[in-house]
Structure 1
Amino acid sequence: MVLLALGRRTNSSTSDTKESPVVKRKVLPVEYKAGDDFDFCSGASHSEGILQVFNEFRDCRLFTDVVISVQGREFPCHRAVLCACSSYFKAMFCNDHRESREMLVEINGIEAKAMEAFLNYVYTGRAKITTENVQFLFETSNLFQITTLRDACAKFLENQLDPCNCVGIQRFADAHALKQLASRCKNYALANFSEVSNHEEFLDLRIEELKDYIGREDLFVSKEEIVFEAVMKWVYHNVDQRRPMLNSLLQHVRLPLLHPNYFVQTVEGDELIQNAPECYQLLHEARRYHVLGNEMMSPRTRPRRSTGYSEVIVVVGGCERVGGFNLPYNDCYDPVTGEWKSLSKLPEFTKSEYAVCALRNDILVSGGRINSRDVWLYNSQLNLWIKVASLVKGRWRHKMGVLLGKVYAVGGYDGQSRLSSVECYDSFSNRWTEVAPLKEAVSSPAVASCSGKLYVIGGGPDDETCSDKVQCYDPNTNAWLLRANIPIAKRCITAVSLNNMIYVCGGLTQNLYCYDPAQDYWILVCQTLAKQESCGMSVANGKVYILGGQGENGEASDAIICFDPATGVLTGDRGMPRPICYHGCVTIHRYCDKTKP
């Protein structure tokens, strides 16, 4: 119960004594109900009104107790308002600093116009940010630790990004540790590199900054010629100082992917490059790629995805299990996106145990149990199969490898015995010719080319035994030599070459082995996720991929395993569309529609 006091003034004419002016009060009982309290709030208008009055006081110099001097211009202020908004001023005025006792406080290192805009924000909560004042206003708000105004300036800069200023804004963001703004600037420049490279700011990049741009996989250009021209423009802008930097910059330009005519006329015809012997090795690599195609592998032969091309792994044919139906599918896998796409089907999919390899950017399929001399070529540009010259000797369970632009069909089985026969295919003459035979006849070996030689690893000399021999073919002498044996004797193994090393897996083991031809020794790299044989193996984007294969129970697998030699990490990737074994795996460059980020 609440006691409410109500009163009135009394005035009695019958009283003999003079009335007292005191109010007589009567206490009335009032019942209290829970929730009857009223919390009144006038909202933001109250604080805005007070700020408005303080701002009027500032204009009239009423109650101001400090004068801030910037570049000789004086700004009368209220210490309490400054301290309430800025921890910088709170520390200055609330501690025993000299400024806390002085009427005039001089601040250096900022612009008077920025200080004026800053004080307008402090007293009104509003600021006019323009392209002319944003940098100084940001620095002022950053100095005085007004994060809301600082972030507003950063957002304004982000909205002003343009090919002509994104490099300068990124430098500003880096200098002030604005990670989000710096990231937006970098992404904008990468996505608009063609336009950015035409502006003055680009020519003032430091070499480390330029390398970072052109070395990125997510650099968006429609063709590699744009990157080359940007580099040369940057070098010629200050040719005397930048001439020694040319070679290190061209390391990041994918010269092999330039159009051959452009490469001959523009790159090799450039006087600066002609007089730079340190660049000759890069030019030689590009020339070899134009002749040998995807057999040449380096970071510079991998297409930028923005050009519309990407490295894809093509899985050719195969079957689901031993004795199962042979599959006609010819599918490509993009390791970056995980997408699968169907290509033109095999023309003779009833074949089995054929050999597959990539020649330049096409695919060859030779031999097989049926029509064992037939050879088909898949034209990746036209997405169709073409029959080419037949093998001299029919075979299956053989392997093919590409060496210096020519295809070698090695060993195998003809239905009666293992073969030591080796044939060489010249695509320009469309003809197979026999070369020196293997030292040991084998079927189902692993075959890979590396450092100018062809290596035939393991295999089965007969139905009962497996070989651990490594046979090395030198095309210059047309002779075979034996090298260091592989640590395991196996058949149905697969090999690929990467960075002048050969990687071997399969044979129903979990081991992934690596062979160094220069040192002639083997090492165990790691163990895969399961025991497999007759699996596919290919190299894409600098990594080794193992696809499918047959397990100990005879069933095929749909697993994709990725090994990164740079980190030594083995990971399981997305699954294949179907379990498969006894298939071919090759890597080609495939064009698809590109979209700008």
Structure 2
Amino acid sequence: MLCGGLRESSEKAISLRGVASWVLWAILEFLYSGTLRLGREDVWELAEAALLFQLQGVFVLCEEFLLEHIDPSSCLDILALAEAYGLDQLGRKAEQYALRQFQSVSCGDKFQDLPLPLLERLLEEDSLCVDSEIQVFRAVRCWVEEDLGERLPFLPGLLEHVRFGLMSYTELQEVQSCTLLTRSLRGKLPYTAVINWFFPQVLVVVGGDFVDEDFTRRVPSRSLWFAQRFLRGLGLIRTVEWKSLTELPEPPRFRHCVCVLNNQLYVLGGHQTVLHSNFKLPISPNTHYLEKITQDHWDRVADMHSPRDYFATACLAGKVYVFGGNHDDTQYLNTVEFYTPEDNTWRLAQPLDRALCGHAAAVSGGEIFISGGCDTRSGCLPYLWCYDPSHGCSSRAPMVAGVGRAGHAMLALGGKLLVVGGLQPLWAGFGDQLQCEAYDPTLDTWVAIPRLPRPHLFPAAVLLDGVMYVLGGSSVDTARDTPWVHRYDPRTGCWDNLGKLPRPYADLAAGQATHTCTVTLLFTILSPHMIEPWNSNTL
């Protein structure tokens, strides 16, 4: 500037605009001593002056200080500094910190000042760390609400980066109750479209077995169907519009269990051969499969220790539990195993008090409950147990409808355990059990609820919007498969017939109380292109 022929070389006084006097004194001191006194308040102006005067030594000291003292309140300022001056290395380190500490960073005031491109870049990163995906949604909501008039149109694009499929049902309810989504986004994306686009919830039927057209054998199915719409016709006529989703991997299975953990669908155990009336079915290998729902892809995961069918499963604390079941049509199991996805490993837990087959399991209040089933003498049991993986079973009040129950479904709804369907022992053999009952864990008592309109032996049962759905199965009395879909609403205390399955499937099971073959369950589809929007007006 002084020696290169520029204008300043001929001036007696030169103004250094935008630089405070104390900053210049600190830089002069550094030039003569090689030292720089830095603090949390003055490091920013010194760093900018170092970049202005191209003093690499000063900036290196400032950069080291910033990274040594980085915290949730300063990382976004560091990131903004790096963005402004093209400091790629500093920017990467600040961004990595922001991603690791996103939950704390998003709660700070400076988060609201993030420019849109930078916010989108953080949200789309797989390395973003939060305890729950609901924290990401809350961060987006707060950022938009900071300047609602300007930022509301950006909401649809930001929501594309929120992974709703990783949220629990309770968290999804929080999303649905957000008043921000009820506003029209540029007049094009109202609340219902947001809900249907990003996390439609559907009923899905997986696998199963059915009678062939010649009525000569039972055929396992590989099909996955989902209920696209529930339709109301004239009078009491109702139908379900089913649509094909994908297929199970070879070979087809039935009498297996299914559960959903961390938005991944697990298929466990069961049979895998065609059932003829004149020969005995072999038990399938002790394997299970996992579907990553967003990719329509099946992966083989670790084997259970024991092959089993007609067993029960439940998910608790990030683990998949399997309880008892039939081993080889002559031996029932009392063993309990649990699977941890982190290390792809099955381990043994405390066994059941007795070997069981055709029982049900459900989780309520953070505890696992197991009900009914048949013992080694083929006797139907009325018992209810609370199961602890470390200590085993403790008895609770037995069921009161009939003298025993097996092949039923049990779900937790409204703080109670609802038990429906199955069979019961009679003076000569077994019969359909149409009586239903509910257990209150706090009072340790059972009360009757309305009877099922039709038999459901080994049905599928799921919860959707506080309502219980029971699907398919068979009938002991008629020896026929059940095609019907029934719904129980605890608010009205009534059962409704909603229509039929794609065909009469038998040996059904459900997400939390699976103990046989086909399953119907509730899960979240991440891709908006996989299914058509759920039409709630026709439900």
**Structure 2 length-normalised TM:** 0.55
- What is the aligned counterpart of 2:223 among 329, 349, 354? 329
Structure 2 residue 412 is matched with structure 1 residue 497: yes
Map Cα deviations across residues 182-224 of structure 1 (whole Å, 9 max, x no partner): xxxxxxxxxxxxxxxxxxxxxxxxxxxxxxxxxxxxxxxxxxx
CA distance in 2, matches of 1:573, 1:318: 20
Residue aligning to 1:117: none
In terms of Rg, which structure is larger?
1
Residue aligning to 2:465: 541
Map Cα deviations across residues 73-131 of structure 1 (whole Å, 9 max, x no partner): xxxxxxxxxxxxxxxxxxxxxxxxxxxxxxxxxxxxxxxxxxxxxxxxxxxxxxxxxxx
AA matched with 1:473: Y
- Displacement of 1:260 in angstroms is 4.0
Matches of residues 26-65 of structure 1 in structure 2 within 5 Å?
Answer: none
AA matched with 2:221: L
CA distance in 2, matches of 1:575, 1:596: 18
CA distance in 2, matches of 1:449, 1:349: 30
- Name the CA shift for 1:460/1:453 in 2 (closer, same or farther; >3 Å): same
Residue aligning to 1:459: 373
- 2:395 alignment partner, SS class: strand
- What is the aligned counterpart of 1:569 among 494, 505, 516? 494
- What is the aligned counterpart of 1:306 among 193, 198, 219? 193
Structure 2 residue 418 is matched with structure 1 residue 506: no
Matches of residues 420-459 of structure 1 in structure 2 within 5 Å?
Answer: 420-459=334-373
Contact persistence 1:357–1:585 (CA under 8 A): no
- What is the aligned counterpart of 2:136 among 226, 236, 261? 261
Greater share of helix residues, 1 or 2? Answer: 1
CA distance in 2, matches of 1:292, 1:504: 29
CA distance in 1, matches of 2:495, 2:284: 39
Relative contact order (alpha carbons < 8 A, sep ≥ 6): 1 or 2 greater? 2
- Displacement of 1:540 in angstroms is 1.0
Residue aligning to 2:248: 346
- Displacement of 1:301 in angstroms is 7.1
Structure 2 residue 375 is matched with structure 1 residue 468: no
Residue aligning to 2:209: 319
Residue aligning to 1:381: 294
- Displacement of 1:335 in angstroms is 5.7
Map Cα deviations across residues 277-324 of structure 1 (whole Å, 9 max, x no partner): xxxxxxxxxxxx999854758844779752212221111111125961
- What is the aligned counterpart of 2:325 among 412, 426, 432? 412
Structure 2 residue 439 is matched with structure 1 residue 515: yes
- Displacement of 1:262 in angstroms is 4.2
Matches of residues 43-442 of structure 1 in structure 2 within 5 Å?
Answer: 260-263=135-138, 293-294=167-168, 299-300=173-174, 305-307=192-194, 308=197, 309-321=199-211, 324-334=218-228, 338-369=240-271, 370-415=283-328, 416-442=330-356
- Displacement of 1:520 in angstroms is 1.3
AA matched with 1:588: F
Contact persistence 2:221–2:253 (CA under 8 A): no
- 1:411 alignment partner, SS class: strand
- 2:266 alignment partner, SS class: strand
Map Cα deviations across residues 230-274 of structure 1 (whole Å, 9 max, x no partner): xxxxxxxxxxxxxxxxxxxxxxxxxx9965434468769x99xxx
Map Cα deviations across residues 351-393 of structure 1 (whole Å, 9 max, x no partner): 3311111223221111113433111012211122211111122
Contact persistence 2:314–2:362 (CA under 8 A): yes
AA matched with 1:558: P
CA distance in 2, matches of 1:596, 1:295: 17
CA distance in 2, matches of 1:518, 1:572: 32
Map Cα deviations across residues 422-465 of structure 1 (whole Å, 9 max, x no partner): 01111122111111111121011011111111111100112531
- Name the CA shift for 1:429/1:336 in 2 (closer, same or farther; >3 Å): farther
Residue aligning to 1:560: 485
Structure 2 residue 452 is matched with structure 1 residue 528: yes
CA distance in 2, matches of 1:389, 1:471: 28
Map Cα deviations across residues 473-497 of structure 1 (whole Å, 9 max, x no partner): 134x443211111123121111111
AA matched with 1:471: W
Alpha-carbon RMSD? 3.4
**Structure 1 length-normalised TM:** 0.50
CA distance in 2, matches of 1:379, 1:546: 25
Map Cα deviations across residues 313-353 of structure 1 (whole Å, 9 max, x no partner): 11111112596111111111246564322122111344331
CA distance in 1, matches of 2:246, 2:448: 38
Residue aligning to 2:63: none
Contact persistence 1:295–1:402 (CA under 8 A): no
CA distance in 2, matches of 1:579, 1:504: 22
- 2:267 alignment partner, SS class: strand
AA matched with 2:367: K
- 1:381 alignment partner, SS class: helix
Residue aligning to 2:394: 481
